[in-house]
Amino acid sequence: MGVIFDTYALLAWFRDGNEKYRPYFESNEEKFITLLILMEFYFFLYHFAGKRKADEYKQILRLNFALLPASARTAVEAAILRSNMLRRRKRMSYADCMSYALAVVNNHKVLTGDPHFRGLERVIFVR
């Protein structure tokens, strides 16, 4: 079993230095990101810190995280999850829904502190 790091977790560690995330970043467990998480994280850094900083952190991610591929099946599962979450008045992003669907399909967990993940199975919730 591995851990999918969502954008919240990446920013909490790399930007904010939240020490509660240290055990997960230093763990020997398999660490994953999704293509959508890479996109979100890169966007945030590019937008607020510039291309050089975004490229620097992209390289860190490439060296420390495996990119977890998604299939059409996972995309459908993520779409269903997003619909169900919206019905519960939780505005989960497509990236978050994809991460969670990939966690379920691949028997992984999602590391996050995003409130809309609270109470879901397969979530390591850190604030």
Question: pLDDT per residue over 35-89, tens digit each?
Answer: 999 999 999 999 999 999 999 999 999 999 999 999 999 999 999 999 999 999 9
pTM for the full model? Answer: 0.94
Neighbours of 83 (CB within 10 A): 10
Superfamily of domain covering 3-125: 5'-nuclease (3.40.50.1010)
Element (H, E) at 4: strand 3-5
Given pLDDT bands bounded at 50, 70 and 90, which one contains residue 18?
Answer: very high
CA distance 43 to 30: 24
Is 120 within 8 Å of 100 (Cβ atoms)?
A: yes
Residue boundaries of the structural domains of the chain: 3-125
Average the pLDDT over 115-126 and give the result.
94
pLDDT of residue 30: 98
